[in-house]
Amino acid sequence: MKPLASLERLIKADEPEIYAESLSHTVEALIATARLALDNETSGSDLRDRASYVVEETLAVAQALMGVVSVGIEDLQREQRRKDAA
């Protein structure tokens, strides 16, 4: 299967601090979904054969989203330090 296009280019936010909290919940859900896919033993063999690829792609998306979360949190921390210093 063909890998996703550069996720870093696809997932960008001009103001990551606005999206950090909601994206952190999305990342948590994506990781839970990946774990469930790996644990699923009741699906057909075709789906089980693709599970590692699907999990890999899901975790790649989660990782790219986590980059937005990290930048957003850093921006919020910087803003709070500026307020505290004033």
pLDDT by residue (tens digit) across 36-75?
888 877 766 666 677 888 888 889 889 888 888 898 889 8
3-state secondary structure of 30: helix
Would you say the pTM of this structure is higher than 0.75? Answer: no
Distance of CA 13 to the CA centre of its chain: 13
- Provide the pLDDT for residue 85: 92
Helix axes 16-39, 45-85, angle to 10 degrees: 150
First to last CA, the chain: 53
- The four Cα atoms 73, 74, 75, 79 give a dihedral, to 10 degrees, of 100
